[in-house]
Structure 1
Amino acid sequence: MIRLSRLLIGIFVILTQPNALFAQTISMEEAIHSTLANHPSMAVVQAALEAVRTNAQVIKDNRQPNLRLHDQINIGTANGLSGSYFSMGLIVPTSGGRRPENSMELASGNIALATADWEVFNFGRFQAEDRLARTDIMVSEAAVENETYNIRLAVINTYLDALWLKQTLKIEERNLARVDTVRRIITNLVHNGIRPGLDSSLASVEFSRAKLNYFQMQEELQRAIIKLATLTGRPVNLAAIDTTFHQQVLLMQPVDTKLKADHPLLRYRTNLINRQTTEIDLIRKSALPRVSLLTSAWARGTSLDIDNNFGPLGSGFGYSRTNFLVGVAATVNLTDFHRIKSRSQLQQWRIKQAQSQLAVEQFQLQNTLTTSDSVMATVRMALLELPTALNSADRAFQQRLSLYNNGIENILGLTDALQLLTTVEKQVVNVQRRAVNVRLQRAYATGDFEDFFSLFRRQ
């Protein structure tokens, strides 16, 4: 009778989960790799990293000499007047002789210009910019690693949710088979007049409750599978988790590890502090003088003669005079020395903020590690107790079923034993889940997931 019930329940499961026959099994580590390859946030941080790397080259390109070529041909009036003024980039300069009257006669001109300027020395500002660019790259690389770390944890949690739901679904499946077996036995006894009809009604109610619990668990599992499929970029109907789980490993003492400074979450905060500290050096050196090498050469032609008389317009399109100029310029803005004081103070506060964030991150990770280590012994004792509790509950159910068949036990006692067995089976999964969460917290705090992944690898 029990075997027949399990066979019928198995057919029922296949009919309610047709996609399970064709789904491709994916392990936890495969799910992580697939998610890292497809998750949009990874593309975001990777693009940000490439942008920072490119910016380092942009900074170097900006230091190359500026070489400008210019040529223009003009036709217009040439009325000069003595006096100085600021052009402000709006007034067009005019070079011409002074005359008693204003003339509207046209003159032509041609001018070609080549200039070059190169900032050759600035008391270490270039080196400070390079150091800041390198620390920006380190911060972005750490941000990529940080995002990878968080995505890995999200996938693990989603995968574990699906794993525990699948184990709970199997419990509901077994419970459904047991309830169906009991229902069939009771129905047979009622038909033979051995048991009252009430027992048959109660058994039918219990069977309906078992099916409802099974359907609810099936729905929750499907939600978890959809979430995992979304993360990994796989079709939902082709996604199925690998149920490999070495629960005996949970009884073993994990490798003794401590919080390390190169933890991905701590590395990001440390690189951020280094970046903020490096910027202070650049701020201070940005106010120092800048030494530039300047060169210029130009040629000019005009239709005006040396006596400032207007000539043919075509004569102004050639070059009649050439000049060149070479010089060294030193530039300093004295008010910058006052500005860098405030900017340095602002940067110091940013450094303190980054240091405080690092301290908070260290505190949280250390607290997580300490908590997991402290509760691991208690969880291990609960794991050792599970076989005894499960065997006792199973024997109690078998004994109650036997007593019921012999007319000694009533339907309520049998139902209680049935529910107790299911409760203990779910408690086994719950304890295992707590033990795995402790291992996961430990892996998260130490940054070492090798021991954790060994729980789910095929051997």
Structure 2
Amino acid sequence: MKRTLFLFLLIFPILGPPATAQMLSMEEAVESTINHYPTLAAQRSALEAFRANLQVLRDNRLPNVRLHDQVNMGTANGLSGSYFSLGLIVPTAGGRRPDNSAELASGNIALATADWEAYNFGRFEAENKLARADIAVGESGLEREQFNLRQVVINTYLDLVWLGQNLKIEQQNLARVDTARRIINNLVFNGIRPGLDSSLAAVELSRARLSYYQLQEEYRRANVQLATLTGRPINEMQIDTVFNARLLLGEPLPSDVQSGHPLLRYRDNLLTRQNAEIDLIRKSALPRVSLLTSVWARGTSLDIDNNFGPLGRGFGYSRSNFLVGVAATVNLTDFKRAKTRTNQQQWRVREATSLLNVEKLQLQNTVTMADSVMATIRLALQELPVTLRSANAAYQQRLSLYNNGIENILALTDALQLLTRTERQVIEVQRRAVSARLQKAYATSDFDPFFQLFRRP
């Protein structure tokens, strides 16, 4: 009894909650992860960038208003002829003279211009439509990331639940093996049983300990992973082990894949975005109508006869002009480019359509498979109590027969291992049943029936 108590005290701190820990339910773990996880913060930042792009587009459509003033001093030798300046040749306005003159002339010019692209046959609206589609893709992408991360948290949480239950089974097995070992040692000590029995009992106890230590290592790994996901200190976290196994026997309500599923919504928004880009490509090749206006004033030290005068006279303004106009601009080769880009984008639309259809099919197949699996597993769940009672009764009978010298150590060991395997099988069947429920919740995006399995009454 003292040794059994020692084993219990050795194991209990691993399974029991730390002194400062608060129980963490599955839904709280999911919420905590979604609120803090770094990848989601990055997704939210990317989404805000998409939203800010709408204001960028609005600012780009404001009229261009430019003010310019320059005061110059240099030579003024003119020559007839045309050329392309290419932005490198400085224009010079001056009369033609027989000889080149090195005399200086001054000048001053001020300029105010404005141009506004007033109409472009729907390109602005196409840009807005594409920007809104990008926002929709960003929002659904964030929702999809949250959805997938929820699956990771739930699976990690379930790993802790099953490992915790298996650790309890190993704890019970250690206690049973230790009890049997003490009985065997007593019988061997009194000469009733051969010494080989005590050696076999010691081996069985060692194997039980090794099995427990392996599960303990897996439990700690899963605990660290959940603490990392939820952003909680590992020494302050303990999961809520409530598990309403009886709900697994009930037949779930029929359900189907909904169009609002986060995975489908992301694919659908991506398809909408690809179609919006086609519209923008087409309208980008259409003409652009702009309103233009310009006002400028100029002064020069050259007189009306093109004679050089005092330099100071060129720093004022002696002439002013204004100009208002409407311009239509179109690049004919843009139609060819737009056609080629549209054909390229059509393939991306087909790709997005195919991926959407594949996602729908996979989710629907997951629902069908989950329903089929759960129908079979419910039969296994109904059989488990009978199997567990029979295995326990067999162990108790073998232990009693061994105590009375009727059975040998091998028969007792077989009965003990059978009971442990049956207890593990109970956990495994429950795990498969919960996994099927989780698959259906994943495919239908309806997690409330699944969370009911782990809620306190």
* TM category, shorter: over 0.9
Measure how far apart 1:25 and its partner are.
2.3
The corresponding residue for 1:375 is 373
The amino acid that maps onto 1:425 is: E
The corresponding residue for 1:320 is 318
**Superposed CA offset, 1:219-261 (max 9, x none):** 0100111111111111222222211111101111112211111
Q: Which residue of the other structure, out of 164, 167, 182, is the alignment partner of 1:166? A: 164
Q: Which residue of the other structure, out of 36, 45, 62, is the alignment partner of 1:64? A: 62
Counterpart of 1:90 in 2: which secondary structure?
coil
Contact 2:15/2:164, CA 8 A, preserved across alignment? no
* Distance (Å, rounded) in 2 between the aligned partners of 1:187 and 1:401: 14
The corresponding residue for 2:237 is 239
Aligned identity (percent) is: 67
Q: Which residue of the other structure, out of 29, 32, 41, is the alignment partner of 2:30? A: 32
The amino acid that maps onto 1:110 is: N
Counterpart of 1:455 in 2: which secondary structure?
helix
Contact 1:290/1:330, CA 8 A, preserved across alignment? yes
The corresponding residue for 2:155 is 157
The corresponding residue for 1:107 is 105
The amino acid that maps onto 1:148 is: Q
* Distance (Å, rounded) in 2 between the aligned partners of 1:22 and 1:420: 39
* Distance (Å, rounded) in 1 between the aligned partners of 2:317 and 2:174: 103
* Distance (Å, rounded) in 2 between the aligned partners of 1:314 and 1:21: 91
Measure how far apart 1:213 and its partner are.
0.9
Give the CA RMSD over aligned residues.
1.5
> Which 10-residue stretch deviates more, 278-287 or 149-158?
278-287
Counterpart of 2:399 in 1: which secondary structure?
helix
The corresponding residue for 1:252 is 250
* Distance (Å, rounded) in 1 between the aligned partners of 2:36 and 2:302: 72
Counterpart of 1:453 in 2: which secondary structure?
helix
* 1:128 and 2:118 aligned: no
The corresponding residue for 2:294 is 296
The corresponding residue for 1:434 is 432
Name structure 1 gaps, 5 residues minimum.
none
Give the alignment of 1:164-243 within 5 angstroms.
Answer: 164-243=162-241
Q: How many residues align?
A: 457
The amino acid that maps onto 2:90 is: V
Give the alignment of 1:82-93 within 5 angstroms.
Answer: 82-93=80-91
Change over 3 Å in CA distance of 1:287–1:17 after alignment to 2: same
TM-score (structure 1 length as normaliser): 0.96
Counterpart of 1:439 in 2: which secondary structure?
helix
* Distance (Å, rounded) in 2 between the aligned partners of 1:182 and 1:175: 10
Contact 1:123/1:289, CA 8 A, preserved across alignment? yes
Q: Which residue of the other structure, out of 385, 388, 391, is the alignment partner of 1:387? A: 385
Give the alignment of 1:261-280 within 5 angstroms.
Answer: 261-280=259-278
The corresponding residue for 1:284 is 282
The amino acid that maps onto 1:129 is: E
Counterpart of 2:453 in 1: which secondary structure?
coil
Counterpart of 1:94 in 2: which secondary structure?
coil
Contact 2:290/2:326, CA 8 A, preserved across alignment? yes
* Distance (Å, rounded) in 2 between the aligned partners of 1:95 and 1:19: 91
Counterpart of 1:276 in 2: which secondary structure?
helix
* Distance (Å, rounded) in 2 between the aligned partners of 1:426 and 1:286: 66
Measure how far apart 1:23 and its partner are.
3.3
The corresponding residue for 1:54 is 52
Measure how far apart 1:314 and its partner are.
2.0
Counterpart of 2:292 in 1: which secondary structure?
strand
The corresponding residue for 2:352 is 354
Measure how far apart 1:454 and its partner are.
0.8
* Distance (Å, rounded) in 1 between the aligned partners of 2:199 and 2:444: 56
Measure how far apart 1:382 and its partner are.
0.5
Name structure 2 gaps, 5 residues minimum.
none
> Which 10-residue stretch deviates more, 126-135 or 429-438?
126-135
The corresponding residue for 1:401 is 399
The amino acid that maps onto 1:416 is: D
* Distance (Å, rounded) in 1 between the aligned partners of 2:452 and 2:175: 33
TM-score (structure 2 length as normaliser): 0.97
**Superposed CA offset, 1:323-347 (max 9, x none):** 1111111111111222221111111
* Distance (Å, rounded) in 2 between the aligned partners of 1:26 and 1:80: 87
> Which 10-residue stretch deviates more, 377-386 or 255-264?
255-264
Q: Which residue of the other structure, out of 319, 329, 338, is the alignment partner of 1:331? A: 329
Counterpart of 1:67 in 2: which secondary structure?
strand
Give the alignment of 1:437-448 within 5 angstroms.
Answer: 437-448=435-446
* Distance (Å, rounded) in 2 between the aligned partners of 1:354 and 1:28: 34
* Distance (Å, rounded) in 2 between the aligned partners of 1:357 and 1:22: 48
Measure how far apart 1:448 and its partner are.
0.7
Contact 2:17/2:238, CA 8 A, preserved across alignment? no
The corresponding residue for 1:311 is 309
Counterpart of 2:454 in 1: which secondary structure?
coil
The amino acid that maps onto 1:118 is: W
**Superposed CA offset, 1:107-162 (max 9, x none):** 22211111100111111111111111111111111111111111011111111111
* Distance (Å, rounded) in 2 between the aligned partners of 1:360 and 1:55: 31
